[in-house]
Amino acid sequence: MIVLRLALQSLANRWVTALLTVLAIAFSIMLLLSVEKVRTGARQSFADTISGTDLIVGARTGSLQLLLYSIFRIGNATNNITWASYDEIRRQPEVAWAVPLSLGDSHRGFRVLGTTPEYFDRYRYRRTSTLKFADGRRFEDLFDAVVGAEVAASLGYKVGDRIVIAHGLGSVSFVEHDDKPFRISGVLARTGTPVDRTVHVSLEAIEAIHVDWQGGGRIPGQSVTAEEVRQLDLKPKAITAALIGLNSRLATFRLQRAINDYPREALIAIIPGAALQELWSLVGIAETALSVVSWMVVATALLGLTTMILTTLNERRREMAILRAVGARPGTVLGLLSAEAGVLSLAGVILGAGLTYAGLWLARPAIDRMYGLHLAIDPPTWGEIGTLAAIVVAGVLAGLVPAVRAYRLSLADGMTVRV
């Protein structure tokens, strides 16, 4: 207790330097914990990109490729599923619901998804969150379109605006379905998922804009107007993929195996959660890099702590000598400087943790609204507590370096007056 009291009094006499050291440690701790929270939040948000869907069905390909083009709108499908096969799958007794997806067109660099109105009810993210409308409603007319939040923000769209869908997936297209424009009926609220970057239309609309097309271009001599196409049978002949929900998850593997062995065409069914984890293992190397940078910042702060104590030794040589002259043992000198380092480290850790949670509480609504990244405000985990305790211990050990140097200063050298 005496050593601790002496350490606190000594730090109080040098409060400006001590405060700056505590702030340096606090900001490094804040960065370390913030990176951990962002890393955890990003991983959880990634895993929760799609929830409540038991299987994704598509033409036979790799599981990651199916996940990328059906959910993340990245890449292209190798083939389509015939409507007859999809219809047979959705009629299986294990299937509670099925939502078809049709991809292949775009609008100014954003993917266009053809689906059914049930998509807005069945799509889940963050486990239980559903799609909500920031403005307008789901599509009802044949040429209605619902745009994601990022589409609306990037292109300045609002309900009632007219848009033209382009054939193909290029950001700049010279082949457009300009004879059949769409009207925006709704704008979805931000989700932080690929839904934000998607234009949604009905399956019938996808068929409608392609009735007079073949092989990627208009059929010469044929032109069907927007009014004429409404009189046609627009039942889809094929779709790109389908989201499947089951009555019981116990049937997941049985139905997955049946789809993978489907005799009429080559299909594959994947479990979204398993595919997401596989994908994260490939792209998650960034979280390791962030953690390394954070630890480097913490190491720099501890190095600054050691440097601060070392630079004050010349000013404190007489203090050390007087302590030894009045009977202080070598252990007392060692304990004093180590205690100072420990107090500074502990204060920095507590302040850094407090700033992290305060900043998280203030910034979370804006981060969620702007980036769709959900950062949970949870108590520190045992792993985080262990990390913070290790940093305090490292601070005490860092204080041993100047402590050993102070111990080695001789009594005579400390009492010598230098001119």
Rounded to 5°, angle at Cα 27 from 23 and 31: 170
Residues 6+ apart with CB under 8 A from 239: 80, 81, 83, 86, 100, 101, 102, 114, 203
Pairing mode of beta strands 95-107, 110-115: antiparallel
Which pair of tokens denotes residue 380? 């520190």
pTM, two decimal places: 0.73
The domains of the chain are located at 2-46+286-415, 55-270
Residue with tokens 């490729």: 65
CA distance 161 to 184: 6
Q: Among candidates 385, 408, 375, which has minimal Cα distance to 42?
A: 375
From first to last of its 419 residues, the chain has per-residue pLDDT tens of 676 776 777 777 777 878 888 888 888 888 888 888 877 777 777 778 889 999 999 999 989 999 999 999 888 888 899 999 999 999 999 999 999 999 988 998 899 999 999 999 999 998 888 999 999 999 999 999 999 999 999 999 999 999 999 876 655 555 777 888 999 999 999 888 899 999 999 999 999 988 876 665 666 667 778 788 888 888 999 999 999 999 998 899 999 999 999 998 999 999 998 888 888 777 667 667 777 877 787 788 777 777 776 666 666 666 666 666 666 666 676 777 778 888 888 998 999 999 999 988 888 877 776 666 677 778 888 888 888 888 888 888 877 777 777 666 644 454 555 54
The CA distances from residue 156 to 151, 166, 212, 382, in Å, are: 8, 18, 31, 46
The CA distances from residue 31 to 24, 38, 101, in Å, are: 11, 10, 41
The CA distances from residue 315 to 309, 310, 406, in Å, are: 10, 10, 11
Which pair of tokens denotes residue 6? 């002496």
The CA distances from residue 50 to 44, 71, 201, 346, in Å, are: 11, 8, 20, 41
